[in-house]
Chains A and B, each alone.
Chain A
Amino acid sequence: MALHLLGWLAVALYLGAEALAIASLVAPRGTLGKLTPLLVAVGLALHFGDLMHRARALVSVPYRTLGGSVSLFGWMLGIAFLVLLARHRERAIGPFLIPFVVLTTAAGLLLPDSGAAPAQGAQGSLFALHVTLAILAYAAFTFSFVLAILYLVQSRQLRRRRTGILFARLPALEVIGRMNRTSVSVGLAALTLSLALGLVRAEQVWSTLHDPKIAWALLTLVIYGFLLWMDRRGWEGPRVALLSILGFGVMLFSYTIVNMYFSREHSFR
């Protein structure tokens, strides 16, 4: 199949964005860091071209192959990054988030791309929306996970009075917490919608709902829903961060192990 020229160009741009983000973390007064979102945006445009190319080959959203789905995941991460940046204007998180965009996009280009026959009912715009929203939710939860780690790191630095460069550059706990809230809210909304669409579709074509993936998605929803509820009640702090990490673990399990071994309908094969 294609050499994914556009995809690799996008990876190169993401890498450039990461380099600039690191440079601006080390020397925050430079203006180069302002180019980071621009590079990511151009990368996303090229990446989109690559995804369209795959989609044309498969005549569907590129979900069906592992490579395609991971690449779409990378693209969504890029979108989520720009959303976070636009909403919170906190450039210091770039160096920690962009690597996920780079790695998933590159992995998507390297992983096998041979398409299986589409599962029953796996077409149509309803279905496409279901997949896209699910992957957007995964992207948002991934960033929530990274932000939770940053929160714990910063909190630990504060407790141990480590006031080095990382301490100085990372945002305040309150700000990291707020960004995590944005991520989880986006993820929760996307996953809820995706689940609803999936259920509608499943009822149309399978007539039963015994896919274990549904149970896992519900569990994910419950965890993140509880997190947001806690956060809204003011129970912010390390516990919310730990819950973000737990939610991400469940999501990862559902995306990999459940897909590969338990769910016939959500398998990549």
Chain B
Amino acid sequence: MTGAGEARLLLLGWNFRTAALSVRERVAFSAEEVPEVLDRIRGAGLVSEGVIVSTCNRSEIYGVSNGAGTNEELTRLISEWRGLDVREAAAGSFHREGAEAARHLFRVAAGLDSMALGESEVLGQVRTALRLAREAGATRSVLHRMFESAVAAGKRVRTETEIARHPLSIPSIGFELATKVFGEMAERSILVLGAGKTGTMFAEQARAAGVGEVRIANRSRERAEELANRIGGRAVEWNRLARELPEADVVVGTTSSPEPVVRRRDVEAAMRERRGRPMFFLDLAMPRDFEAGVGDIYNVYAYGLDDLKEVAEENRVRRSREVPRAEAILEEDLARFLAWFGNLAVVPTLNDLQARLAALRDAELTRVAPGEREKFRAFADAIAGKLLHEPLRRLKAEPDASRKLDRVEAVRHLFDLDQ
């Protein structure tokens, strides 16, 4: 797939593994900048198609080059434009070509290249990258197909393996545990102590997960009300905390109080009022918000920050065990894309086209008397040859690699050669 006139996939990237933050922030492209980058690299004749995936952890330029453009030249162009030292930019970068470039994109879309293995956000980012490039008029059939395939493969990996199943973040783990006690959370009530960063995060997540009622208690009432108004919850009086407990199925502690804000005897009283219905305590505060021994009360489930971190670590291991299965799925989809891409070259398409015409001709010849067949065969071949001569000459002579790929794709489509 190399050589002048033949299309080649390129990838130039910087990510959290290869480049320092100081380099990464210089080569990070905002959605507004993307069209300009794409114009520059295409204008310089380095690539004929381009897509840029730029997130906080990575900045990757995918392109289709017709042989003139190389990753070195791309690096030079970007570093000059961004005022970076070329050697510095090159040192933190990585290059892929051909199938390896496509494979990298598939891995990124599946979350295998992410800091949090299997995370799903990146799938949307890949999709956005394709949209931005398409809007900038920078994609044609190859990168379009490559990105769509990668997104589809990424979705497949997440539904067919467990890689995205075991939660990694502390609030989601706390949430999963609570769900295993209560089942559906729609009828449940959750009480968040503290309206700081953690409290806000948890309250938001609870709302998003469809918890029936979210109550917020904070030493300063205004902050509690502000948060409650924003997420559609209810602020409660800090001084009446013990009175609020019985109604709460889940209590989350996130305050910075130097001593426990919920005493064991408060919980015992609450449990009596609840007539033993289970309660769930999640202590995300440091130092702890719940007095020691709360978890020993009958039907009370209590977890601290360390417990959740332990589960997070186990879940990380569980996710990483799914990597081989995820890779097998990616390879399957990748092989399909590469086969399509390989067929886009002119020669295999010509062969396929000739085979198709020969089959048509032979089918027609069966209707001709046996003695006449040789004559008709020669006649048919002459017509077909004359008819196809000019289109094929133009196809071969097309200098722009991407336009050529588009045309080959059109021929394959019109003559139904991908059957």
Interface residues of A (CB under 8 A from B): 29, 154, 158-159, 161, 163, 167-168, 171-175, 233-239
- Which residue of A158, A174, A234 is within 8 Å of B301 (Cβ)? A158
Whether the Cβ atoms of A172 and B310 lie closer than 8 Å is no
Q: Choose among B159, B180, B314 the residue with the greatest number of A CB atoms under 10 Å from its CB.
A: B180
The 6 closest A-B pairs by CB, nearest first: A172-B183, A234-B275, A174-B183, A237-B299, A235-B276, A175-B183
* Chain B, residue nearest A176 (CB): B183
Whether the Cβ atoms of B183 and A171 lie closer than 8 Å is yes
**Chain B interface size range:** 20 to 34
**In the complex, B315 has a CB within 8 A of chain A:** yes
Supposing A29-B160, A238-B299 touch, asked if A163 and B181 sit within 8 A by C-beta, the answer is no
Q: Nearest chain A CB to B205's CB is how many angstroms away?
A: 18
**In the complex, B338 has a CB within 8 A of chain A:** no
Whether the Cβ atoms of B181 and A237 lie closer than 8 Å is no
- Interface positions of B from 139 to 174, Cβ below 8 Å from A: 159-160, 165-166
Whether the Cβ atoms of A173 and B181 lie closer than 8 Å is yes
* Chain B, residue nearest A30 (CB): B160
Chain A residues near B176 (CB-CB < 8 A): 163
Supposing A233-B275, A237-B276 touch, asked if A159 and B181 sit within 8 A by C-beta, the answer is no
Supposing A161-B311, A163-B311, A173-B181 touch, asked if A236 and B159 sit within 8 A by C-beta, the answer is no
**In the complex, B16 has a CB within 8 A of chain A:** no
Q: Nearest chain A CB to B325's CB is how many angstroms away?
A: 11
Q: 16 additional contacts, CB 8 Å, given A173-B182, A174-B278? A: A29-B159, A158-B177, A158-B181, A161-B307, A163-B314, A168-B165, A168-B166, A172-B179, A172-B180, A172-B183, A173-B181, A174-B184, A234-B274, A234-B276, A235-B275, A237-B276
* Chain B, residue nearest A240 (CB): B276
Tell me the complex Cα distance, A254–B110, Å: 58
**In the complex, B298 has a CB within 8 A of chain A:** yes
Whether the Cβ atoms of A163 and B275 lie closer than 8 Å is no
Chain A residues near B277 (CB-CB < 8 A): 234, 236
Q: Choose among B159, B299, B307 the residue with the greatest number of A CB atoms under 10 Å from its CB.
A: B299
**In the complex, B376 has a CB within 8 A of chain A:** no
Tell me the complex Cα distance, A167–B295, Å: 19
* Chain A, residue nearest B280 (CB): A158
* Chain A, residue nearest B180 (CB): A172
Chain B residues near A236 (CB-CB < 8 A): 276-278, 299
Q: Nearest chain B CB to A238's CB is how many angstroms away?
A: 7
Q: List 14 A-B contacts (CB under 8 A).
A: A158-B177, A158-B181, A163-B166, A163-B177, A163-B314, A163-B315, A171-B183, A172-B181, A173-B180, A174-B181, A234-B274, A234-B276, A236-B299, A237-B299
